[in-house]
Amino acid sequence: MKNIIKNIKNKFILIPIFTFILSLSFLIFISYKNNSMDYKSYTLFQKDLLDKRISTVYITDNPKIRIKLKDGSIYETDNPRTPNIKQTLLENNILVSEDYPANSKQIYPGTLMLLSVISIIFMAVKNSEKVSKKTLPIDSLETTVVKDFNYTFENVAGNEEAKESVKDVVDFLKNPEKYTSYGARMPKGIMLYGQPGTGKTLLAKAVAGEANVPFYAVSGSDFIQIYVGVGASRIRQLFKKARNNSTGKAVIFIDEIDAIGKKRDGSNSSGGSDERDQTLNALLTEMSGFNEKKGIVVIAATNRLDMLDPALLRPGRFDRHIEITLPDISSRKKIIALHLNNKPVGNLNLHEWAQKTSYFSGAKIENLVNEAAIIACKENSRAIEDTHMDRAFSIILAGYEKKNRDYIKDTDKKITAYHEVGHALVSLKVLPNEKISKVTIIPSTNGVGGYTLSIPEDKLYENKDYLKKRIMILLGGRAAEEVIFGSNYITTGAHNDLQRSTHIAFNMITQYGMGETLGLLNMQELMKLNINQDKIIEECKKLIDSMYYHTKNIIIENRPYLKKITELLIEKETLYAKDLDNLKLISK
């Protein structure tokens, strides 16, 4: 109750509430009194009649009649229900009413109560109007406009690929005319995706800072309101505000874009999604509305790209997608160094700390360094030393380990590394012309432990030999696990690989006419005849089994090489093409 009163902005509403309570209790009191009305027997009534003390009699259908005496007092007696009672009374000069006495005592509190209720409703409506109006104005929107341009790419350590991907946008913001004179269209929207704390906000700020334009930051969740339409109007106000700043240029940053841009699915098409659709549509309209010459760039961030409504990612909207990954060891070293920059540092072994912090995000590293600084400060130590970092590390891990298991054990790391190098090694051996651009054990957002990125050669057709080799590369991860750790210690890590290799094998045999069971027959056509599929499964299995046999042989033959690459991968966490080239020389 206290809270309710506190929440009521307009204190005057308390007056009608008070009068309402007062009149209500008065009415209850009166009706209680009425119910316990005096009662006299019929004979006593007849006596009053004879004595001519009665002024009015109220006769209704009730079993009781009421009698008002000349002195004003009222009592009840039994209704005789004789047809001529009214006549008798009238002949005795007594007023007869066929209604109960209008109790004047009830009229006043009744009216007062009615008035109170009306004014409470009136005031409450006015109040809520005021509240909703208050949320509407532009200034209520929590946009942090950064105008001191403190952030530059210097503040973003590591993330080189991402920085490279936004450099032209900075240049465009500096002189949009140059780009339009070449007829070049700049991306209106950039989508940064990656795990939390990897520096997406930081990168967006740096873009604004490098280009010297104001930075408007909002969060997608700011736009999801109880009142339908508020989100959409906020979007329009945000863009208006950005357009109308003195430079006319701006970076608009929308964090947690998934709050407004989540994929629409049938199941939650009710309720709040109406509001979300309106907000999303407003955003898309605003984005297609501003023209490229102006120099406004919208940067959005999300943890999950695959959750977003495809409408958001179409050309002309957020059409540049940049993944911000967790930092690898060399990036972590840079991030640690960066955050130690403004602090007194003792004899810290930076390399060791970069090694210890695998799978840490930039935010977590910042947190670690800050915690160490606090500990050093509490001890009045001259500088931050390894011991302070050690203690900070335990604090951070204890805090994070409960929440998620992003502190991955060394054995897991080793399994992931052998698995990934298995893919890479088989790829190097069977398709030497395909460039492996990256092998990493840093997990990406889609949840896999690591990945190997190879760039397929450009070609129009994929022949049977090539498809078999693709299957072998996919099986390379599992083969390495089995060869190194033994057949009892193979893991679930190959799940996706097996899905993909099965898919290729099945298509070879049933769609492309590359198998024996069906020969040149096409499965889709045969399906109409409801044929027996066991033989096809058998042949798929035979194909995969034989590919696996070859793959395992490659791994076994190159075991020392596999080990060497894996050791390097565990050390560096990410290997690029040039690292693999260097290793190739060693193996020969």
What are the residues binding ligand ADP (CB under 6 A)? 156-159, 196-202, 301, 335, 338, 362-363, 366
Minimum separation from the CB atom of position 467 to Zn ion (A): 18
- d(C-alpha 420, C-alpha 423), whole Å: 5
Cβ proximity to ligand ADP, 200 vs 241, nearer residue: 200
| Beta bridge partner(s), residue 262 | 308
Stretch that binds Zn ion, among 202-210, 470-478, 517-525, 577-585 (CB under 5 A): 470-478
Minimum separation from the CB atom of position 436 to Zn ion (A): 14
- Residue, CB closest to Zn ion: 477
Please choose which of ligand ADP, Zn ion, none residue 422 contacts, taking the beta carbon within 5 to 8 angstroms, the exact cut-off set by kind: none
Cβ proximity to ligand ADP, 335 vs 570, nearer residue: 335
Residues between 533 and 572 that touch Zn ion (CB under 5 A): none
447 burial class (0-12, 13-18, 19+ CB within 10 angstroms)? exposed
Contacts of 535 (CB under 8 A, 6+ apart): 517
- d(C-alpha 320, C-alpha 315), whole Å: 9
Minimum separation from the CB atom of position 497 to Zn ion (A): 4
Minimum separation from the CB atom of position 231 to ligand ADP (A): 21
Stretch that binds Zn ion, among 46-54, 192-200, 409-417, 492-500 (CB under 5 A): 492-500
Q: Residue 477 interacts with Zn ion (CB under 5 A)?
A: yes
Cβ proximity to ligand ADP, 209 vs 362, nearer residue: 362
Please choose which of ligand ADP, Zn ion, none residue 197 contacts, taking the beta carbon within 5 to 8 angstroms, the exact cut-off set by kind: ligand ADP
223 burial class (0-12, 13-18, 19+ CB within 10 angstroms)? buried
Closest by Cα among 87, 88, 92, 35 to 66? 35
Cβ proximity to ligand ADP, 235 vs 335, nearer residue: 335
Residues found in the chain: 588
- d(C-alpha 437, C-alpha 454), whole Å: 6
Please choose which of Zn ion, ligand ADP, none residue 159 contacts, taking the beta carbon within 5 to 8 angstroms, the exact cut-off set by kind: ligand ADP
- d(C-alpha 545, C-alpha 548), whole Å: 5
Cβ proximity to ligand ADP, 320 vs 429, nearer residue: 320
Minimum separation from the CB atom of position 145 to ligand ADP (A): 17
Please choose which of Zn ion, ligand ADP, none residue 497 contacts, taking the beta carbon within 5 to 8 angstroms, the exact cut-off set by kind: Zn ion
User: Taking the CB of residue 89, how many other CB atoms lie within 10 A of it?
Assistant: 17
Stretch that binds Zn ion, among 33-41, 256-264, 453-461, 475-483 (CB under 5 A): 475-483
Q: Residue 309 interacts with Zn ion (CB under 5 A)?
A: no
Q: Residue 481 interacts with Zn ion (CB under 5 A)?
A: no
Cβ proximity to ligand ADP, 366 vs 539, nearer residue: 366
Please choose which of ligand ADP, Zn ion, none residue 479 contacts, taking the beta carbon within 5 to 8 angstroms, the exact cut-off set by kind: none
- d(C-alpha 228, C-alpha 241), whole Å: 21
Please choose which of Zn ion, ligand ADP, none residue 471 contacts, taking the beta carbon within 5 to 8 angstroms, the exact cut-off set by kind: none
- d(C-alpha 312, C-alpha 105), whole Å: 69
- d(C-alpha 217, C-alpha 206), whole Å: 13
Minimum separation from the CB atom of position 279 to ligand ADP (A): 21
Give, to the nearest 10 degrees, the angle between helix 329-340 and helix 362-378: 40
379 burial class (0-12, 13-18, 19+ CB within 10 angstroms)? exposed
- d(C-alpha 241, C-alpha 252), whole Å: 10
Residues between 386 and 405 that touch Zn ion (CB under 5 A): none
Q: Which secondary-structure segment (H or E) carries 452?
A: strand 451-455
Q: How many residues bind Zn ion (CB under 5 A)?
A: 2
Contacts of 216 (CB under 8 A, 6+ apart): 143, 144, 145, 238, 241, 242, 250, 251, 252, 253
57 burial class (0-12, 13-18, 19+ CB within 10 angstroms)? buried
Q: Is 420 a catalytic residue?
A: yes
Cβ proximity to ligand ADP, 300 vs 430, nearer residue: 300
Q: Are 211 and 174 in contact (CB under 8 A)?
A: yes
Stretch that binds Zn ion, among 12-20, 166-174, 401-409, 496-504 (CB under 5 A): 496-504
- d(C-alpha 41, C-alpha 69), whole Å: 15
Minimum separation from the CB atom of position 204 to ligand ADP (A): 8
Catalytic choice (210, 256, 366, 420): 420
Which tokens belong to 439?
């092998």
- d(C-alpha 422, C-alpha 414), whole Å: 12
Positive/negative CA dihedral, 58, 60, 66, 67: positive
Please choose which of Zn ion, ligand ADP, none residue 156 contacts, taking the beta carbon within 5 to 8 angstroms, the exact cut-off set by kind: ligand ADP
Q: Residue 497 interacts with Zn ion (CB under 5 A)?
A: yes
Q: Residue 443 interacts with Zn ion (CB under 5 A)?
A: no
Minimum separation from the CB atom of position 365 to ligand ADP (A): 7
Q: Are 391 and 375 in contact (CB under 8 A)?
A: yes
Please choose which of Zn ion, ligand ADP, none residue 477 contacts, taking the beta carbon within 5 to 8 angstroms, the exact cut-off set by kind: Zn ion
- d(C-alpha 210, C-alpha 217), whole Å: 16
Please choose which of Zn ion, ligand ADP, none residue 250 contacts, taking the beta carbon within 5 to 8 angstroms, the exact cut-off set by kind: none
Minimum separation from the CB atom of position 333 to ligand ADP (A): 11
- d(C-alpha 87, C-alpha 68), whole Å: 17
Cβ proximity to ligand ADP, 156 vs 562, nearer residue: 156
* Distance spanning both ends of the chain, measured CA to CA: 82
Cβ proximity to ligand ADP, 198 vs 357, nearer residue: 198
Please choose which of Zn ion, ligand ADP, none residue 345 contacts, taking the beta carbon within 5 to 8 angstroms, the exact cut-off set by kind: none
Which tokens belong to 566?
């894996």
Strand arrangement, sheet containing 574-576? 451-455, 435-440, 574-576
Cβ proximity to ligand ADP, 362 vs 493, nearer residue: 362
Q: Which residues bind Zn ion (CB under 5 A)?
A: 477, 497
Catalytic residue list: 420
